[in-house]
């Protein structure tokens, strides 16, 4: 490798490192509440959870649907999705969350429930699930904090963590501009539909069903759910 290529690689590594550390610093300042998790829009939580339930119900109506034993909540925050949705559908729900304050709050809230499952304190870019254990891996509003390369690697790892007939479900904001939009405040990106599908396919997965989240405020990004299985 010549000096110019090495310098370029070092620069890219530095940019990626700042992308992750800036995001971590941002979330450290966010209150460990539903309002904090939803950027001040706690009023959409119920609509969000009901939309997710309807989408999951539709997946169980398909031939070769997943089981209902164990799920993973990727980028779980304070456990809003685990407590309000996933626990209603799965016997065991594991949580992955990078922020220490959030995962501690999730443990506190879930301690008073019938929750069964493990807590993994790490970023998705560093997480590797146990092989062949999950019926559904649910990843919502967090992939914008991964670089394209790390997103593909994460999906590849998740695929190995699925049981037979298991699914990965992504629920994410999408841009209408057709371009990647950067939010410098929380150090995240919002991708267009075409790029999300491209990265999914690059990871060796295919979209078997998708659905737009309904009844969100018109000024918000479009939110779409994608059910994925190995190609």
Binding residue per annotation — 61? no
Binding residue per annotation — 53? no
Burial 73-107 (b: 16+ CB within 10 A, else e): bbbbbbbbbbbbbbbebbebbbbbbbbebbbebbb
Binding residue per annotation — 117? no
Tell me the C-alpha to C-alpha distance, in Å, between residue 63 and each of 6, 59, 163, 165. 50, 9, 16, 10
Binding residue per annotation — 124? yes
Calpha distance 27→6 (Å, rounded)? 32
CA dihedral 106, 108, 109, 112 (to 10 degrees): 140
Binding residue per annotation — 185? no
**Closest C-alpha among 185, 169, 179 to residue 221:** 179
Residue ranges for the known binding site for S-adenosyl-L-methionine are 75, 80, 124-125, 140
Mark the binding-site residues, compressed into ranges: 75, 80, 124-125, 140
């Amino acid at each position: 490798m010549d000096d110019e290529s090495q310098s370029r690689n070092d620069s890219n590594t530095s940019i990626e490192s700042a992308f992750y550390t800036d995001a971590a610093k941002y979330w450290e300042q966010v209150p460990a509440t539903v309002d904090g998790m939803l950027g001040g829009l706690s009023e959409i939580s119920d609509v969000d959870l009901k939309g997710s339930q309807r989408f999951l119900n539709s997946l169980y109506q398909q031939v070769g649907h997943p089981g209902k034993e164990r799920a993973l909540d990727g980028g779980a925050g304070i456990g809003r999705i685990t407590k309000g949705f996933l626990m209603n559908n799965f016997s065991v729900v594991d949580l992955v969350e990078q922020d220490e304050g959030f995962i501690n709050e999730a443990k506190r809230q879930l301690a008073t429930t019938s929750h069964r499952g493990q807590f993994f304190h790490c970023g998705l870019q560093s997480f590797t699930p146990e092989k062949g254990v999950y019926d559904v891996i649910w990843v919502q509003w967090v992939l914008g904090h991964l670089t394209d390369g790390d997103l593909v690697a994460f999906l590849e790892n998740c695929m190995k963590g699925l049981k037979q007939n298991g699914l990965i479900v992504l629920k994410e904001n999408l841009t209408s501009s057709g371009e990647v939009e950067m939010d410098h405040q929380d150090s995240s990106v919002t991708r267009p539909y075409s790029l999300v599908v491209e990265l999914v396919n690059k990871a060796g997965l295919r979209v078997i069903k998708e659905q737009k989240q309904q009844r969100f405020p018109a000024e918000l990004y479009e939110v779409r759910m994608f059910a994925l299985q190995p190609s």
